[in-house]
Amino acid sequence: MRPRRSGSRFRLNVEKAEKLLRRLALNDESAVHSVLAGNPEAGGVPALDRKSHALVSLGALLAMGAGTTSLKWMADTAYEAGATDEEIVGVLVAAGPELGLAGIVCEAPKLALAMGYDVEDVLS
């Protein structure tokens, strides 16, 4: 179990996070629906800022092998939230150990296309 820090505000946030995780683990319909609907404050847990949310979502899409169109949509969302090319590529680098060699090689050209780079010359 994670050690708790002192302070009532911190304790309240931890309790909300634990409560939401329990509800999701128990397949609580309203909690699951709230998360799947993209409710940024699901279960009273503070939302990530827009840029962090887009970068985490991009990482999830890369991890599941999403298509270029989905990657482009999320990269565009990240750009609109203030992300740089380096931060977007950094998502692939950060996920690299989990993706493994095959995942990195498969996802890199799709992400490059999603970012607007021409990878045809590289792949030929």
**Sequential pLDDT tens for the chain (124 residues):** 555 555 555 565 678 889 889 999 999 998 899 888 887 677 777 788 999 999 999 999 999 999 999 999 999 999 999 999 999 999 999 999 999 999 999 999 999 999 999 877 655 6
Res 42: pLDDT: 76
pTM, 2 dp: 0.79
Continuous segment of H or E residues that includes residue 60: helix 50-63
Domain of 26 in residue numbering reads as: 8-44
Res 22: pLDDT: 92
Res 15: pLDDT: 85
Q: Could you tell me if 61 and 104 lie in one domain? A: yes
Q: Could you tell me if 80 and 97 lie in one domain? A: yes
| Tokens describing residue 57 | 């979502």
Instruction: Answer yes or no: is 3 within a domain.
Output: no
| Tokens describing residue 120 | 């045809």
Question: What's 3's DSSP letter?
Answer: P
Tell me the C-alpha distance between 89 and 70, whole Å.
16
Which residue has 């309240």 as its token pair? 12
State how many domains the chain has: 2
Instruction: Answer yes or no: is 1 within a domain.
Output: no
Instruction: Answer yes or no: is 2 within a domain.
Output: no
